Chains A and B, each alone.
Chain A
Amino acid sequence: MEIPAEKFERAPRRQENEEAIKRPSVTYWQDAWRRLKKNRLAMAGLVIICLLVIMSIIGPHLLPYTYYEQNLENGKNLAPSSEHWFGTDDLGRDVFVRTWHGARISLIIGITAGLIDLIIGVIYGGIAGYRGGRVDEIMMRIVDVLWGLPYLLVVIMLLVVLKPGLWTIIIALTVTGWLNMARVVRGQVMQLKEQEFVLCARTLGASTKRILFKHLIPNAIGPILVMLSFTIPNAIFAEAFLSFLGLGVQAPVASLGTMIESSLIVVLSDEWWRLAFPAGVISLTLLSFNVFGDGLRDALDPKMRK
């Protein structure tokens, strides 16, 4: 093997090679987004969520009926057709319009309840975690006691007493719903506040509020988002469950839960569309939120980061 002599000259040191980081650096969010995009199931969930939101907005207006309009004379229990895409129910109401109207109620309740949980949870958990010590002790003791109460039973009790309606359900769902979020936020804040960049900000004289909202919350946002992506479907499920028990929004307002409850009779008859469409939409809603939430959790989990 012939190697030219000049190859044995000393090579200049490759300074840039030496301390260079060998792979391109990606920020946390770029990395998370890249991983989320790669997760086809989660992306499918996201797309379906968007479609469901769009349909719940425009769906009720696609056909010339209202969710409460009855047609008792010749419109009862009609099978799906070009006039009634999802057929009609035993009172002659259009199932398509009612289903999307119900989906709208579900989404409003789910998202509103989720956001209220988020706000209360972030404030409560943030303060408990940041202040620590006695304040934390007392605040978390309160959470512990409330945590011991069975969630749906408390909600049922509230609904039995309160006047039924959209806001009643949202309030009932959030009374104990924020506990989870508060715990997650507190845990995150406790963990983060010991880290150097926070100590640094504090040394520089940043106020408590500023540290909390400028430093701690943005860094805790990952777990908070994941939590939110699971509280929304939980609230949607709870609403359907309560409506099914007759404790939800009251007739004639359509809710997926009440639609399913009132169509149980079709088990023994052939009007499958009355059950299948609302049941399908609620299942699809929960499924897409759950799948998306799973994907989000996997994408944001720093332990999975390689």
Chain B
Amino acid sequence: MARLLEVDNLHVTFETYAGKVHAVRGVSFTLNKGETLAIVGESGSGKSVTAQSIMRLIPSPPGKITEGRILFEGDDLVQASKKKMLRIRGSKIGVIFQDPMTSLNPTMTVGKQIMEGLIWHQKINRHEAQKRALEMLRLVGIPNPEQRFHQYPHEFSGGMRQRVMIAMALASDPKILIADEPTTALDVTIQAQILELMQEIQKETETAIILITHDLGVVAEVAQRVAVMYGGKIVETGEVEEVFYRSRHPYTWGLMASMPRLDQRRDQELEPIPGTPPDLYDPPPGCPFADRCPYAMFICHEQMPETTQVSPTHQVACWLEDPRATPVNKEVKVNIR
């Protein structure tokens, strides 16, 4: 498979009045053409910051990429000029944000917002841009596109606005679509529609998708590969099957156990992960999950574990993988589908 994007040892910090926040601490992953990679984690795990770094959209100041490379089509986006980033944003990499209610300009018609990027990137005239925008509105399943084209965002429902966002992000036919919690703010029924729409479009356009989410249900539905983030680091990554059925990291276990399932008996309680995520003002030297991990050893608090290759596609960063560690007999009860 053709490799499209490679993120290598990415570090992002935010300067605040209380000190430096190390939001992303050495994240590496790859994205292949046409696939969907899900980045999963709770809020504050650094998943959104990672996504915004790829677009170089972290607000700066206070945010800054301090280390690492983001390779895209042979260029390092960390080093790319502002001008070059303008050419890449919106044309080669598109984004959908979490809240469709606030992510559209309230004072510009929906049609104009879609056309705007097209005219700027593809140097086409208004007429062609309008044709393309209408085509996109039709593609994302908006009824009466000719009429809707001239309406303002407040005249659309949440689901419809997210469709507009998708149309906008895909209008220039980007290679990568970054979807940052695209369904979190939507009703459950609408969520399914939007996910289905994204999959359909992906089939047609072969766009690679980076899906940022905290919802494992969404991951199971659409992603091929998963990266689990915790405390600014990727703790486990692999194909969906591997991470869901043969997960190796206690945090992933916790995530799985805290997720409600259809086949669950009523009296069977959900297991929340005790504790709170680490404070990234002053990150612990060891594994970020150590404080909350039921299997934590002394070493876990002191030193970050190396990444272990479980299979060619499955990697995990946990001291339990070390031969010297006491083996854990945790039957993984996860049964998602």
Direct contact of A and B (CB under 8 A): yes
| Residues A8 and B294 in contact, CB atoms below 8 Å apart | no
By the criterion of a CB under 8 Å from any partner CB, how many residues of chain B are at the interface? 26
| Residues B299 and A7 in contact, CB atoms below 8 Å apart | yes
| Residues A10 and B319 in contact, CB atoms below 8 Å apart | no
| Residues B297 and A10 in contact, CB atoms below 8 Å apart | yes
- The stretch among B229-237, B246-254, B274-282 that forms the contact with chain A is B274-282
Q: Is A23 at the interface (CB under 8 A from chain B)?
A: yes
B236-275 Cβ-contact flags toward A at 8 Å (1 or 0)? 0000000000000000000000000000000000000011
- Complex-state Cα separation, A177 to B118, whole angstroms: 54
- Complex-state Cα separation, A5 to B319, whole angstroms: 12
Q: Which partner residue on chain B sits nearest A7 by CB separation?
A: B299
| Residues B275 and A9 in contact, CB atoms below 8 Å apart | no
| Residues B274 and A11 in contact, CB atoms below 8 Å apart | no
Residues in B321-337 with C-beta less than 8 Å from chain A? 322, 324-326
Q: Which partner residue on chain A sits nearest B299 by CB separation?
A: A7
A209 contact set on B, CB distance < 8 A: none
Known: A18-B274, A18-B275. A11 touches B17 (CB 8 A): no
Residues in A8-37 with C-beta less than 8 Å from chain B? 8-11, 13-14, 17-19, 22-23
Known: A17-B291, A306-B18. A11 touches B296 (CB 8 A): yes
**Within the complex, what minimum Cβ distance (angstroms) separates A38 from chain B?**
9
| Residues A13 and B299 in contact, CB atoms below 8 Å apart | no
- Complex-state Cα separation, A289 to B275, whole angstroms: 47
Known: A17-B291, A18-B274, A18-B292. A11 touches B297 (CB 8 A): yes
Q: Is A3 at the interface (CB under 8 A from chain B)?
A: yes
- Complex-state Cα separation, A6 to B324, whole angstroms: 10
- Complex-state Cα separation, A11 to B294, whole angstroms: 9
Q: Is B75 at the interface (CB under 8 A from chain A)?
A: no
A145-175 Cβ-contact flags toward B at 8 Å (1 or 0)? 0000000000000000000000000000000
- Complex-state Cα separation, A9 to B296, whole angstroms: 9
**Within the complex, what minimum Cβ distance (angstroms) separates A55 from chain B?**
36
- Complex-state Cα separation, A19 to B275, whole angstroms: 5
| Residues A8 and B297 in contact, CB atoms below 8 Å apart | yes
A6 contact set on B, CB distance < 8 A: 298
**Within the complex, what minimum Cβ distance (angstroms) separates A301 from chain B?**
15
| Residues A11 and B301 in contact, CB atoms below 8 Å apart | yes
| Residues A5 and B324 in contact, CB atoms below 8 Å apart | yes
**Within the complex, what minimum Cβ distance (angstroms) separates A75 from chain B?**
57
- Complex-state Cα separation, A14 to B303, whole angstroms: 17
Q: Is B300 at the interface (CB under 8 A from chain A)?
A: yes
B136-158 Cβ-contact flags toward A at 8 Å (1 or 0)? 00000000000000000000000
A18 contact set on B, CB distance < 8 A: 274-276, 291-292
Q: Is B15 at the interface (CB under 8 A from chain A)?
A: no
**Within the complex, what minimum Cβ distance (angstroms) separates A243 from chain B?**
44
- Complex-state Cα separation, A23 to B16, whole angstroms: 14
Q: Is B302 at the interface (CB under 8 A from chain A)?
A: yes
**Within the complex, what minimum Cβ distance (angstroms) separates B25 from chain A?**
17
- Complex-state Cα separation, A14 to B276, whole angstroms: 12
Q: Is B120 at the interface (CB under 8 A from chain A)?
A: no
| Residues B297 and A7 in contact, CB atoms below 8 Å apart | yes
Known: A8-B326, A10-B295. A306 touches B17 (CB 8 A): yes
Among A14, A19, A22, A306, which residue has its beta carbon within 8 angstroms of that of B16? A306
| Residues B299 and A22 in contact, CB atoms below 8 Å apart | no
- Complex-state Cα separation, A13 to B274, whole angstroms: 11
- Complex-state Cα separation, A17 to B291, whole angstroms: 7
Among A9, A13, A19, A306, which residue has its beta carbon within 8 angstroms of that of B298? A9
Known: A8-B325, A19-B276, A306-B16. A13 touches B294 (CB 8 A): yes
Q: Which partner residue on chain B sits nearest A21 by CB separation?
A: B276
- Complex-state Cα separation, A232 to B119, whole angstroms: 54
Interface centre among B279, B291, B300, B303 (most CB of A within 10 A): B291
A14 contact set on B, CB distance < 8 A: 291
A11 contact set on B, CB distance < 8 A: 290, 296-298, 300-301
Q: Which partner residue on chain A sits nearest B290 by CB separation?
A: A11
| Residues B291 and A10 in contact, CB atoms below 8 Å apart | no
| Residues A3 and B299 in contact, CB atoms below 8 Å apart | yes
Q: Which partner residue on chain B sits nearest A18 by CB separation?
A: B275
- Complex-state Cα separation, A13 to B275, whole angstroms: 11
Known: A18-B274, A18-B291, A306-B17. A10 touches B296 (CB 8 A): yes
- Complex-state Cα separation, A5 to B323, whole angstroms: 11
- Complex-state Cα separation, A5 to B299, whole angstroms: 10
Q: Which partner residue on chain A sits nearest B303 by CB separation?
A: A3
Interface centre among A3, A11, A14, A18 (most CB of B within 10 A): A11
| Residues B326 and A10 in contact, CB atoms below 8 Å apart | yes
Q: Which partner residue on chain B sits nearest A14 by CB separation?
A: B291
Q: Which partner residue on chain A sits nearest B280 by CB separation?
A: A22
Interface centre among B295, B296, B298 (most CB of A within 10 A): B298
A271-306 Cβ-contact flags toward B at 8 Å (1 or 0)? 000000000000000000000000000000000001
- Complex-state Cα separation, A23 to B279, whole angstroms: 9
**Within the complex, what minimum Cβ distance (angstroms) separates B43 from chain A?**
15
- Complex-state Cα separation, A6 to B297, whole angstroms: 9
4 additional A-B pairs beyond A3-B299, A8-B298, A8-B325, beta carbons within 8 Å, are: A7-B299, A11-B298, A17-B275, A22-B276
Q: Lowest 9 CB-CB distances: which A-B pairs, in order?
A: A22-B279, A7-B299, A18-B275, A7-B298, A8-B324, A11-B298, A17-B291, A11-B296, A8-B297
Q: Footprint of B on A, CB under 8 Å? A: 3, 5-11, 13-14, 17-19, 22-23, 306
Q: List 9 A-B contacts (CB under 8 A).
A: A6-B298, A8-B322, A8-B325, A10-B297, A11-B296, A11-B298, A13-B296, A17-B275, A23-B281
Q: Footprint of A on B, CB under 8 Å? A: 16-18, 274-276, 279, 281, 290-292, 294-303, 319, 322, 324-326
